[in-house]
Structure 1
Amino acid sequence: MTDVHVFLAVGIALAGALVFGELVERAGEPIILGEILVGMVLGAHVLGIVDPSGSFALLAAIGSMLLLFDAGYEEIDLGELERGGVPVAIIALFGAGLPATIGVAIGLAFGYSLSASGILAIAVGVTSIGITARVFLDLDRLDTRYGLHVVGAAVSAEIVGLTAFSLLLTTQQAGASGGQYVRIIGIIALFFLGVIVVQRVLIERVSHLLARFQQPSADLLGIVGLLFLFGYAADAAGLDVIVGGLIAGLIVGGERRFRDAEIRDGIVGIAYGVFIPLFFVNVGAQMDPTILFQVDPLVIAVVTLGVIVKVGGSYLGARIVGHPSDEALIVGVGMLPRAGVELVVVTGALAAGIIDQRLFSAVLALVLVSVLSTPPLLARAIQRSDSEVNP
């Protein structure tokens, strides 16, 4: 039987997102901040109206896919993203690799095992691309050079982080064999091989087939179906549905007839009017604001170093690849947020007994601080850069 209680949660969440979004926008802050704040109020730790692990989470996952699909289809040029391979790798190395190293050091310094420290490294190193992409989209800056570099580096870090997490979980299993590790890497490689086949062999044929349909919404139905298939395939490969959404957008946006068809008009209304706000409400609903009141040296170390090293490392990587100081700061702040993948990693690690409640709380504190601080800081960094270009 259908759980109609989720309708109540969705209705209250959308109304709250509308009101909070209006308030923060009038205060000069990004609307996304209001959506996250209303999620914190409605979440399990305050009012308990939104359950971030139930049916509401499924609707939020659809929002995450639609957000990154729109980014890939409308704003990101696949050719430009591919040509930025070396700069993206350098930014990812400094913006994800350096924080991950610090995460291991923090864990070992506080007496945790290498496995637990590895979990902390993954959580500190990866980036929640959804939050940064939303701010870039709202300010129409995703198609910039720094926007492409942030997206590429964040997605690369997420893929590496989730792969490492899967391998680490396998290590904890009794009798784990080398074949299991090969299987994990092989499935992810198979996913990307499938992406290449779809892009180079199938997508144009699908486009020509849909062009022969007489239904007025044939393109939209076919593309949304493709979006969900990619989301499922990404999740089945051990990645995140948001990666599938981005890849679907890039592939569809790279096909000439689909690009000319302007299918975005059929998606954007329901996406930004319903599902995408629900995604950010769900992000907020997972946050426990009381964590910030814990005076724990581990929490302080994880939050402080997690923010400083993430922004600083990403800034350094951006400077190395030629970004001016103001753009490098945008890259640094854009790589800061942690939310979806990080929560999946630490929740799974806690359930598997790899980390304890203390380390779990420290990562949640880092997630909370980074999620709330990124939208306003990123908007200000972009505005500052724009003012220097056009004084």
Structure 2
Amino acid sequence: MTHDFVSLAVIALVAAAAPIIANLIPRKPIPETVLLLAGGAVLGPAMLNVIWTDESVMLLSDLGCAMLFLLAGYEIDPKTVMGREGKRGLATWLVTLMLAFAAVHCFTSVSARGLDGLAVTIALTTTAIGALMPILKERGQLNTRLGESVLAYGTWGELGPIVAMALLLSTRSTWVTIAILFLFVAIAVLTAMFGHQSSRKEGPIRDIFFAGRDTTSQTFVRTTLMLLIALVAVSALFHLDIVLGAFAAGFILRYLIPEGDHELEKKLNAIGYGFFIPLFFVVSGAKIDLFAVLDDPLLLIGFIVMLVLIRTVPIFLSMRRDKDSEVTAMGGRAHATVAVYCTTALPLIVAVTSVAVGAGAMDADTASVFVSAGALTMLIMPLLAAAIYRVADTHPIEFLKEHVSR
């Protein structure tokens, strides 16, 4: 117990210091997430060993991961996902899945059909849409046309791998897994329908909920957390990854509050980004063995290069070939910006490699390299996306001269 509190105290210190350090650096080039991961890696078991990933700390980290995916699911408008551009995002993700499978089969020493090969395949198709949300918000791009495209393509880079994990990394037969997924979806849909009807049915229960939303009862927050934990528990009972339940909880919450609730959002952001989500990233960093990463730099670089080829290029080509007037009017730099943003990957890489390591199909050192590569994309891709977005389509030379002269 003492170890747990010491670990939490160190994690809280890293979480509090990260935004201060990030804002002290001119132009804030390094996202806070990268600093949280770096702090965890330096202070974790592989180096200074002052953060211990014991069972209680890991439980809180899992809750942080769940909060991250809840908020990601809540931010996503179903019309964006299932609209015309969202369908192109799904088609593009399927293309990236096939490309990733071929790349793992042709250019790696692992079997593409083995659990470790399938884990790498899925990792190469991911987009950290939950981790991208705060970056897009900070830059004022979330509610723009560019932000809508990032969500349309990026959501499938999160939802697709979640489903692929359930189908491909399960030890059950495929048909049993499909049946369980349908049962889980049915539970989520019934929950959404029940909540929708209950929220509109006038009566004493509804009055209690609305009367206590801003009091010490905090009825809306408590109900939201109950929904999250219940669906995560259902995921665990079905031996599915918890991110599926958390993502479903976010979608259900958006269905119940289609126009959004700013006060509830502020409270959930305070709970999530104030404690649980930073804790998740610090603990994820603590799982990284930096010495193992330094021992295999080619694997690190190769994974990032494959991410760019498999994820960035297909999204960029898809947007360039899109005949919709709004997408065409965005221009090439916006298309490239969306594609680069969607190559930001991390939380699902942590989840996928954890499954592979837990099954004994991947050693912890290799998983550390993949997680480190995902962490580097959290630094590199938002920086590159911002640079591309600032470059004028017709005057790139002037842009370069301006920045060289500074």
Instruction: Note whether the superposition's TM-score is higher than 0.5.
Output: yes
- Counterpart of 2:24 in structure 1 is 26
- Counterpart of 1:224 in structure 2 is 225
Cα 1:164–1:242 change in 2 (3 A) is: closer
Cα 1:311–1:45 change in 2 (3 A) is: farther
- The alpha carbon displacement at 1:53 in A equals 5.5
- Counterpart of 1:177 in structure 2 is none
- Residue 142 of structure 1: SS of its match in structure 2? coil
- The alpha carbon displacement at 1:89 in A equals 0.8
- The alpha carbon displacement at 1:241 in A equals 2.6
TM-score, normalised on structure 1?
0.81
Tell me, yes or no, if structure 1 residue 153 matches structure 2 residue 156. yes
- Counterpart of 1:141 in structure 2 is 141
Tell me, yes or no, if structure 1 residue 342 matches structure 2 residue 342. no
Post-superposition Cα deviations, 1:93-151, rounded to whole Å, max 9, x if no partner, equal: 234442233123223xx364741433432333334443333423443433421232244
Q: More displaced, 253-262 or 234-243?
A: 253-262
Quick one: which amino acid aligns to residue 247 of structure 2?
Answer: L
Q: 1:94·1:314 contact (CA, 8 Å) conserved in 2?
A: no
- Counterpart of 1:328 in structure 2 is 335
- The alpha carbon displacement at 1:296 in A equals 7.2
- The alpha carbon displacement at 1:378 in A equals 1.3
Post-superposition Cα deviations, 1:319-340, rounded to whole Å, max 9, x if no partner, equal: 3446543333333333334434
Q: 2:37·2:285 contact (CA, 8 Å) conserved in 1?
A: yes
Cα 1:106–1:4 change in 2 (3 A) is: same
- Counterpart of 1:365 in structure 2 is 369
Quick one: which amino acid aligns to residue 186 of structure 1?
Answer: A
- Residue 125 of structure 1: SS of its match in structure 2? coil
Quick one: which amino acid aligns to residue 10 of structure 1?
Answer: L
- Counterpart of 1:200 in structure 2 is 193
- The alpha carbon displacement at 1:184 in A equals 1.1
- The alpha carbon displacement at 1:233 in A equals 2.5
- The alpha carbon displacement at 1:368 in A equals 0.6
Quick one: which amino acid aligns to residue 126 of structure 1?
Answer: T
- The alpha carbon displacement at 1:388 in A equals 4.9
Quick one: which amino acid aligns to residue 382 of structure 2?
Answer: L
Q: 2:304·2:377 contact (CA, 8 Å) conserved in 1?
A: no
Post-superposition Cα deviations, 1:330-371, rounded to whole Å, max 9, x if no partner, equal: 33333334434334433443454444x4xx644532331231
**Following superposition of structure 1 onto structure 2, how do residues 248-263 of structure 1 map, counting pairs within 5 Å?**
248-256=249-257, 259-260=260-261, 262-263=263-264
- Residue 46 of structure 1: SS of its match in structure 2? coil
TM-score, normalised on structure 2?
0.79
User: Which of residues 157, 172, 175 in structure 2 aligns to 1:182?
Assistant: 175
Quick one: which amino acid aligns to residue 5 of structure 1?
Answer: H
Q: More displaced, 276-285 or 364-373?
A: 364-373
Cα 1:330–1:288 change in 2 (3 A) is: farther
Quick one: which amino acid aligns to residue 225 of structure 2?
Answer: V
- Counterpart of 1:211 in structure 2 is 206
- The alpha carbon displacement at 1:387 in A equals 6.7
- The alpha carbon displacement at 1:207 in A equals 6.0
Q: 2:292·2:369 contact (CA, 8 Å) conserved in 1?
A: yes
Tell me, yes or no, if structure 1 residue 66 matches structure 2 residue 67. yes
Cα 1:128–1:50 change in 2 (3 A) is: farther
Residue identity over aligned pairs, in percent, reads 20
Q: 2:61·2:280 contact (CA, 8 Å) conserved in 1?
A: yes
- Counterpart of 1:176 in structure 2 is none
Structure 1 gap segments, 5+ residues each: 171-179
**Following superposition of structure 1 onto structure 2, how do residues 304-315 of structure 1 map, counting pairs within 5 Å?**
304-315=305-316
Q: Distance in 2 between matches of 1:220 and 1:207?
A: 18
- The alpha carbon displacement at 1:289 in A equals 1.7
- Counterpart of 2:11 in structure 1 is 13
Post-superposition Cα deviations, 1:282-339, rounded to whole Å, max 9, x if no partner, equal: 2211212223322576665445334443332333344344654333333333333443
Q: More displaced, 28-37 or 331-340?
A: 331-340
Q: 1:44·1:51 contact (CA, 8 Å) conserved in 2?
A: yes
Q: 2:6·2:51 contact (CA, 8 Å) conserved in 1?
A: no
Cα 1:321–1:230 change in 2 (3 A) is: farther
- Residue 124 of structure 2: SS of its match in structure 1? helix
Structure 2 gap segments, 5+ residues each: 394-398, 400-406
Q: Distance in 1 between matches of 2:140 and 2:61?
A: 23
- The alpha carbon displacement at 1:5 in A equals 2.7
Q: More displaced, 31-40 or 80-89?
A: 80-89
Tell me, yes or no, if structure 1 residue 130 matches structure 2 residue 137. no
Q: Distance in 2 between matches of 1:124 and 1:303?
A: 9
Q: More displaced, 222-231 or 377-386?
A: 377-386
Cα 1:11–1:111 change in 2 (3 A) is: closer
